[in-house]
Amino acid sequence: MARALMIGAGGVASVCAHKCVQNHEVFTELCIASRTLSKCQALKDQLDGKGTEITIAQLDADNTDDVISLIEQYKPDIVINLALPYQDLSIMDACLATKTHYLDTANYEPEDTAKFEYKWQWAYRERFEKAGITGILGSGFDPGVTSVFSAYALKHYFDEIHYIDILDCNAGDNGYPFATNFNPEINIREVSAKGSYWENGEWIETEPMEIKRVYDFPQVGEKSMYLLHHEELESLALNITGIRRIRFFMTFSESYLTHLKCLENVGMTSIEPILFQGMEIVPLQFLKAVLPDPASLGPLTKGKTNIGCIFHGVKDGVEKSYYVYNVCDHEETYKEVGSQAVSYTTGVPAMIGAMLVVTGQWARPGVYNVEEFDPDAFMEALNQWGLPWVEDFSPTPVE
Ligand code: NDP
């Protein structure tokens, strides 16, 4: 039925490819294109003969003309961008030039400034609309599922949502003293940045890791979590009716934070280039090169993730709370698709979002965040494709 071009062959892309192949009635053809062809080949070797016709291509997605050529040659119905946030705009430009639907899981971030915002991608709205193509931003877990959870809560349980707390808990242990569960460069840029949250119409900025809370996560237990800025706050603050405050918390172990502080203190997390033996290098990119590849953590990681949202608002004049979350087990996802749960929880919603576009359910010309669509089909697909969710109507609030 549909032909998809997936860009990237890392942790998230690997899961998405497995899920597209499981869903081969929809994804009859898949081209895996990435910078390193051997990674595409390795994925093809795992997935050939399982129902989807797989081809591979070497591609530098920073080069719009190369992306255009590949799209013109392969003629996909959709481009699933699972490379890095730096490539979002060059790939969106190629989609515009070829009138092809677009989907990603992380918003654009210039390589030389650790600041992610939607403004660059929202600027494509009118051009996508005129071209008659759909651009879906942030169809991973957070953003992605957390955004769909918010749309679902508003549609079914609230007239107005006043408070949202997004809680992202990874209680997985990979045995390393310090390793990141997705691209280390993107992960460290995110957690070493200042925190912020939206309250009463404005952003309140905090120092990195300044706000700490302890929460007892269902099926996981008590964990320390820290307030971070996170990209879905920006779009949810605009798209969900009645918002007074929206915050994002992520759990980190003491060991992770101690290592991070130490790396920061010695300058290893900096994105300012330095001269080393006559060559310019970016310390954070060098650090990425010495850290374990997140794609290699699959067989080592044990434990669970629990990611969800706690809502508080009103329905028919009565105040109420609602918590919806997914629990995902690292060892089970490894058994199923050969990846740990952080890649899994991102790769599955990428496939689901792409499926909803190519089947026409979410096809609407323009550029959208996922909470702008009807959430029901996505919620149903989460249960079907490996990320079942749990509801709690009397959750413990976060202070
Ligand atoms: P990885 O580093 O494992 O994979 C990135 C892939 O993109 C690699 O195959 C890499 O190739 C490829 N790539 C990088 N630059 C280019 C380029 N210029 N042209 C073509 N291919 C390129 O990252 P993850 O799989 O962990 O993350 C993928 C995306 O998912 C990221 O944008 C990340 O921010 C996002 N994400 C979103 C989450 C969510 O919940 N919304 C959660 C986790 C991640 P090479 O192997 O050659 O380096």
CB 143 near ligand 1, within 6 Å:
yes
**At which residue do the structure tokens 């840029």 appear?**
189
Inter-residue contact 23 to 49 (CB < 8 Å): no
CB 5 near ligand 1, within 6 Å:
no
- How many A from CA of 343 to the centre of ligand 1? 10
- Among 17-26, 112-121, 153-162, 373-382, whose mean pLDDT is lowest? 112-121
- How many A from CA of 7 to the centre of ligand 1? 9
What's the rounded Cα separation, in Å, for the pair 256 and 172?
A: 12
As a whole number, mean pLDDT of residues 241-256 equals 94
Is the model's pLDDT at 189 over the cut of 90?
Answer: no
CB 142 near ligand 1, within 6 Å:
yes
Whole-angstrom CA distances from 214 to 127, 204, 208, 390, 396 are 45, 21, 17, 21, 11
- pTM score > 0.85 for this model? yes
Inter-residue contact 104 to 127 (CB < 8 Å): no
CB 181 near ligand 1, within 6 Å:
no
Q: How does the average pLDDT of the chain come out, rounded? A: 95
Is the model's pLDDT at 392 over the cut of 80?
Answer: yes
As a whole number, mean pLDDT of residues 225-231 equals 95
- How many A from CA of 10 to the centre of ligand 1? 6
Which residues on neighbouring strands pair with residue 204, listed in sequence order? 197
Best residue among 16, 56, 82 to mutate for probing ligand 1's pocket (most ligand atoms within 8 Å of CB) is 82
Is the model's pLDDT at 132 over the cut of 80?
Answer: yes
Label residue 321 by pLDDT band (50, 70, 90).
Answer: very high
pLDDT at residue 186, as a whole number: 84
Inter-residue contact 53 to 76 (CB < 8 Å): no
- Among 147-156, 287-296, 334-343, whose mean pLDDT is lowest? 287-296
Ligand 1 atom with minimal separation from the 181 CA: 26
Is the model's pLDDT at 389 over the cut of 90?
Answer: yes
What's the rounded Cα separation, in Å, for the pair 350 and 13?
A: 9
The pLDDT tens digits of the residues spanning 43-91 come to 999 999 999 999 999 999 999 999 999 999 999 999 999 999 999 999 9
Is the model's pLDDT at 395 over the cut of 80?
Answer: yes
CB 80 near ligand 1, within 6 Å:
no
From first CA to last CA, the distance across the chain in angstroms is: 49
CB 36 near ligand 1, within 6 Å:
yes
Best residue among 12, 36, 297 to mutate for probing ligand 1's pocket (most ligand atoms within 8 Å of CB) is 12
CB 139 near ligand 1, within 6 Å:
no
CB 40 near ligand 1, within 6 Å:
no
As a whole number, mean pLDDT of residues 104-114 equals 85
Q: Which residue has the higher pLDDT, 203 or 298?
A: 203
- How many A from CA of 288 to the centre of ligand 1? 13
Nearest CA to ligand 1 atom 13: 83
Best residue among 15, 183, 228, 326 to mutate for probing ligand 1's pocket (most ligand atoms within 8 Å of CB) is 183
CB 116 near ligand 1, within 6 Å:
no
Label residue 185 by pLDDT band (50, 70, 90).
Answer: confident
CB 183 near ligand 1, within 6 Å:
yes
pLDDT at residue 114, as a whole number: 65
- How many A from CA of 12 to the centre of ligand 1? 7
What's the rounded Cα separation, in Å, for the pair 118 and 133?
A: 18
Label residue 367 by pLDDT band (50, 70, 90).
Answer: very high
What's the rounded Cα separation, in Å, for the pair 382 and 384?
A: 5
CB 346 near ligand 1, within 6 Å:
yes
pLDDT at residue 110, as a whole number: 84
As a whole number, mean pLDDT of residues 187-200 equals 90
The pLDDT tens digits of the residues spanning 235-246 come to 999 999 899 999
- How many A from CA of 85 to the centre of ligand 1? 8
As a whole number, mean pLDDT of residues 331-339 equals 96
